[in-house]
Amino acid sequence: MKNRLEHAKKIYANWGVDVDEALAKLKDFAISIHCWQGDDVRGFEDSGTEADGGIAVTGNHPGRAGNPDELMDDIKVALKLIPGKHRLNLHAMYLIDDNTIPRDKIEPWHFKKWLDFAHLNGLALDINPSLFSHKMASDGLTLSHPDEKVRRFWIDHCKATRRIATHFSEELNTQTLHNIWIPDGYKDTPGDRLGPRRRLMESLDEILYEKYNPAYIVDSVESKLFGIGVESYTVGSHEFYLNYAARKNIVCCLDTGHFHPTESVADKISSMLLFSDKLALHVSRGVRWDSDHVVAFSDELKDLACAIVSCDAMDKVFLGLDFFDATINRIAAWVLGVRNMQKAMLYALLTPHGRMKNMQDSRDFTSLLVMHETLKEAPFSDVWDSFCESENVPQRDEWLGEVLQYEQEILGKRT
C-alpha cells in the first residue's frame, strides 16, 4: 500500500497537487448522515399516518429498525465502516421518550438520548422539522395552508425545532443546521399561485422572528421542483427560497433530487456562493424523478464535489445525504452512500483546479480537455485505499462482509 501511495503522490505532484494536504482536508470534512435511511422514514412518534407528503420508500428488505435502540445500533455499525468523523441528521419525528406528544409541543428533552448518542460517538447533530406524514398535513399543505389553524400548528412546530437545534449546539459546542422543507403544492393547475407563497412567506417570517446566536444555529430553507401529488405547482420553489434566503440572510439548501433531471446542481454552486456566505446541500440520486436512490460515485457526484472544492468552499457548505432505499440492506446503503460522497470529495481535492483555471483563462482548451481525460486514468483508488487504511476501515468492498454478517445475526431476526 505504501509503495502504491508514493507512486500516486509523484503523479499528482507533477500536476501541482499535494496528496497529503488533500487527505488532511478530506479527514476534516464532515458529512451529515441522515438517520431516516435506517427505518424507511417512519420515525418514533404515534402520528397515526404512514409516510406521505410525496415520500415513497420502495422495497421491504429485512431488518428495518423498529425502535430507537435498533436504529442507533445500526448507525454504529455503519459508522465503523466509514472513514472520518461525521454529523447525524435527525427529523423531528425521531423524538424519543414520549411518542404521543404533538409536534408543536416537542421539547429538547425528547431528544436527550440522541444527544447522549452523539456524545458517545463523537457526532455533531442537525435537525429538520417534519412537515409530512401527519394528520395535520393530510391534504399536502402545511405552512401555506389557507386554514390559519393548520398554519399555526406547523409554525409552532418549526419554532420548537429551532429551540431544539440551539440546544443541540450548546450541548455539543458546534453549529447545528436547522433546515425547513415543506411538501406544499397542487396536483393540477392552481387557481392562485401568489396567495400560497404569500402565506408561506408570512409563516417563515414568524418562525424566524426570534433571533438565535448564529454560532449555534444555522437556518436554511429547501426548495423542490415537483413531487408526487404536487406535479403542477410547488409553493416552495427554488426561486421563492432563493429570494427569501437572500432577503433574510439565511442559507438556501439545494437538494440534488429536487430539480429537473437535466439540471446540474453542481453548476448552481458557484453562482450561489458569489452572493451567499454559506450553502446547504442534500445529496441524493434521482432517477427520472426525486426517487432518492443511494448516492453513486458518478460523474454528476464528482462535478458536485469539484464545484465545492474549486470554489474553496469546503468550510462554507453544509453537506448532508438524503436517500431512502428499502430494496437493499439499509446499512449497506449508508456505508456505500457516504463513502461515495467522500470519494467524490477526494477526487475533487486531487484535481489541479488552479492549473486548469489557467488553461481556461489562457484559452488553451486543448490542454484543458486532455487534463480532464487524463485525470480519469490517475491512481485515485490508491489514494482512497490509503485513506481507508489510515482510518482503520475496510478498503474497497471488504466492508460488505461485516454488513452481511450483521444482517444474518441481527437484522434477519427482526420482525
Task: Check if 361 is active-site.
Answer: no
Task: Check if 181 is active-site.
Answer: yes
Do 255 and 222 form a contact (C-beta atoms < 8 A)? Answer: yes
Choose the catalytic residue: 91, 258, 268, 278. Answer: 258
Choose the catalytic residue: 39, 40, 74, 255. Answer: 255
Do 104 and 141 form a contact (C-beta atoms < 8 A)? Answer: no
SS3 label, residue 313: coil
Choose the catalytic residue: 126, 184, 219, 222. Answer: 222
Task: Check if 267 is active-site.
Answer: no
Cα–Cα distance, 337 to 359 (Å, whole number): 33
Choose the catalytic residue: 292, 300, 382, 407. Answer: 292
Choose the catalytic residue: 278, 282, 302, 343. Answer: 282
Q: What angle do CA 345, 361, 316 make, to 5 degrees?
A: 35
Task: Check if 91 is active-site.
Answer: no
Phi first, then psi: give them for residue 324, nearest 5 degrees. -150, 110
Do 295 and 337 form a contact (C-beta atoms < 8 A)? Answer: yes
Task: Check if 282 is active-site.
Answer: yes
Q: What angle do CA 243, 244, 247 make, to 5 degrees?
A: 85
Choose the catalytic residue: 86, 145, 167, 224. Answer: 224
Task: Check if 322 is active-site.
Answer: yes
Choose the catalytic residue: 181, 334, 384, 399. Answer: 181
Choose the catalytic residue: 322, 325, 382, 407. Answer: 322
Task: Check if 224 is active-site.
Answer: yes
Cα–Cα distance, 132 to 45 (Å, whole number): 13
CA atoms within 13 A on the CB side of 72: 18
Cα–Cα distance, 250 to 70 (Å, whole number): 35
Cα–Cα distance, 51 to 90 (Å, whole number): 16
Max CA pair span of the chain? 67
Task: Check if 397 is active-site.
Answer: no
Catalytic amino acids?
181, 222, 224, 255, 258, 282, 290, 292, 322
